[in-house]
Amino acid sequence: MSKVKRFLAYYKPHKGLLILDLSCAFLVAAIDVAYPLLTQYILRTLLPRMAVDSALMRVFISLIAVAFGAYVVRALLLYIINYWGHLLGVRMEADIRRDIFSHIQELSFSFYDKVRTGKLMSRATTDLFDITELAHHGPEDVLISGTTVIGAFIAMSFVEWRLALALLCIVPVAIYYVIKLRVYMRKASLKVKERVAEINADIESSISGARVAKAFTNEDHERDKFDQGNARFVHAKDSFYRYMAYFNSGMEFFVAMFNLVVLAFGGYLIYKSSLDPILLVTFTLYIAAFIQPLKRLAAFAELYILGMAGFTRFCEIMDIEPEIKDRPNAKDLECVSGDICFTDVTFSYGNGRSVLSHINLDIPAGKTLALVGPSGGGKTTLCHLIPRFYEQRSGEITIDGVDTRDVTLRSLRRNVGIVQQDVFLFASSVMENIRYGRIDATDEEVVESAKRAHIHEEILQFPDGYDTQVGERGLMLSGGQKQRVSIARLFLKNPPILILDEATSALDTMTEHDIQHSFEELSKGRTTLVIAHRLSTVKHADEIVVLDEHGIRERGTHEELLQSGGLYAQLYNASMID
């Protein structure tokens, strides 16, 4: 489907408003076309006869009254166009923003690995403003201007066909000029939007990293980076405005030529006694009615270029297919026991180097498996393959004997709970952040999960208790508090499969000891994968797997691995020295 057809499809849910808008626009155009005809009739027919027939004065007054009424109606029609037309654009913008947000939610982790947040924000906000303006003004501008131009030209042909023919010689040149420049303006507009997206991304990154910049006294460096991006934006805007200036000045030139040609040719015909001066006056009025919509069409061309540039960028996102999605016959994963099996699993992030290579691993239901080893060995990656945040390149991962690719993503991820090392909290209350584990949970259930995560008493000490706002990314809380809120969120979700990725890394020894008991309670009867660098926290796991860049090096209980004197023993002894 072409971009124009995709754009027009967004009018369908709002066709009532569109019909209202276009109907009003058509009536406005009709009134504008009729006025010069009325003027011609009054000047050429009515006024000369009023001197000998005073009764025609009533006709004259009646026509003026009709014209007044027509312009009152025109004002009401313009109100409808401006209010309801803009509302049409806003509703379409909301639909487009809904679609892009929903689509972004479906995209895989690999997409977010490559695309900066600021650029996504630009596509979902700034770009859509121009789309809204096009959605509102586009149809009515084309209809009003097109109807007025065609109607005015037909009327001019009846008034004086020779002058109309003279105008017709200039119009094709003006049209060619518009089409030629539109191509350059479109390219320049796309470049501007790309630069705006880059600036938004830089600002988002700089604000998020403001504390780091201050800690390293690199504020000047951040300003320099921003200035460079800002300069690229100015350069892109410079190109766009240059072409726009060519466009507008050229259109003004052609408008002046219309008047000049009519004046010159009309004057010549009057000189030859071949044209009534009143007809020239009438024709000049039509020139005004003819030129105004041409200017409006020129403005529409600019609006179209900006709007379609934004819509093109919208389509670029919408055309990205999620790398991971449900198979056609995928079924819900239900009644999960939690038996997980990796069979010859290989994975890489696309750079050609395998992070995991030919992994074979069985995790019996209800058991706790600890993954340890050097950083970069693929521990987190292996866990991310279970809920299909990423897709293995080869091999098979099953839960209770069912290939994870044969079940729906929603049901799969509903059965897997994760506490990650990098805790993310939403900029809302403590209550809402914990409730995110299960949206329909009651306040009592939220409080109970906080107690099990050993954060309840501290929450009560906050200024507004559970209603306390945690700030952007939870900045109002300490590292340990953020971690425990995320753990409470997991307690609330209560899934049959748990993944604890350095879940206690930000906690002090005392708090870690308390939470460890909670984890042991939560892990009972559930399959649990624990990633840990602090090996003292995994001693009691049912089995420990040592993973590095070469794959699974060792596996066994804590005592068995210590006795073997291999890599685990080295890591453990080193941690004891630390």
3-state secondary structure 298-313: HHHHHHHHHHHHHHHH
- Confidence band for 396, pLDDT divided at 50, 70 and 90: very high
**Cα 444 to Cα 456: distance, rounded to the nearest angstrom:** 12
Residue 484 has pLDDT above 90, yes or no: no
**Cα 417 to Cα 402: distance, rounded to the nearest angstrom:** 19
Residue 62 has pLDDT above 90, yes or no: no
Q: What is the pTM of this model?
A: 0.69
27: phi > 0 → left, psi -120 to 50 → alpha, else beta; which?
alpha
Q: Where does 3-55 have alpha helices with state H? A: 3-9, 15-41, 47-50
Percent residues over pLDDT 70 in the chain = 89
**Cα 307 to Cα 71: distance, rounded to the nearest angstrom:** 31
**Cα 142 to Cα 22: distance, rounded to the nearest angstrom:** 10
Give tens-digit pLDDT for 314-350.
888 888 888 888 888 889 888 888 899 999 999 887 6
- CATH code of domain 3-318: 1.20.1560.10
Q: Are 314 and 101 in contact (CB under 8 A)?
A: no
What is the model's pLDDT at position 236? 75
Residues near 18 by beta carbon (within 8 Å), at least 6 away in sequence: 11, 88, 139
What is the model's pLDDT at position 72? 93
State the average pLDDT over residues 291-303: 72
Residues near 323 by beta carbon (within 8 Å), at least 6 away in sequence: 108, 110, 111, 391
Residue 573 has pLDDT above 90, yes or no: no
Q: Are 119 and 320 in contact (CB under 8 A)?
A: no
Token pair in block for residue 472: 């952007």
**Cα 289 to Cα 295: distance, rounded to the nearest angstrom:** 11
Residues near 182 by beta carbon (within 8 Å), at least 6 away in sequence: 301, 304, 305
The CATH class given to the 328-415+539-578 domain equals alpha beta
Closest to 550 measured CA to CA, from 566, 532, 534: 566
Highest mean pLDDT among 199-203, 285-289, 329-333, 499-503: 329-333
Higher pLDDT, 534 or 60: 60
What is the model's pLDDT at position 76? 93
For residue 446, CA distances in Å to 208, 455, 484, 491 come to 29, 11, 13, 9
State the average pLDDT over residues 261-287: 76
Give tens-digit pLDDT for 206-231.
666 665 565 656 677 777 877 787 77
What is the model's pLDDT at position 216? 58
What is the model's pLDDT at position 1? 59
**Stretch(es) of the chain classified as CATH 3.40.50.300:** 328-415+539-578
Token pair in block for residue 282: 């009438």
- Crossing angle (nearest 10°) for helices 56-106 and 117-124: 150
Give tens-digit pLDDT for 153-200.
777 777 777 877 887 777 778 777 776 776 677 777 777 777 777 776
**Distance, C-alpha 302 to centroid of its chain:** 23
Helices (H) and strands (E) in the chain, counts: 20, 10
Residue 77 has pLDDT above 60, yes or no: yes
Token pair in block for residue 537: 């926290």
Backbone torsions φ then ψ of 429, nearest 5 degrees: -80, 165
What is the model's pLDDT at position 47? 77
Q: Collapsing DSSP states into helix, strand and coil, what is residue 367? A: coil
Pairing mode, strands 551-556 and 354-363: unpaired
* Burial 253-284, CB ≥16 within 10 A → b, else e: ebbeebeebbeebbeebeeeeebeebbbebbe
**Stretch(es) of the chain classified as CATH 1.20.1560.10:** 3-318
**Cα 385 to Cα 342: distance, rounded to the nearest angstrom:** 10
The pLDDT mean for the chain works out to 80
Percent residues over pLDDT 90 in the chain = 7
What is the model's pLDDT at position 362? 92
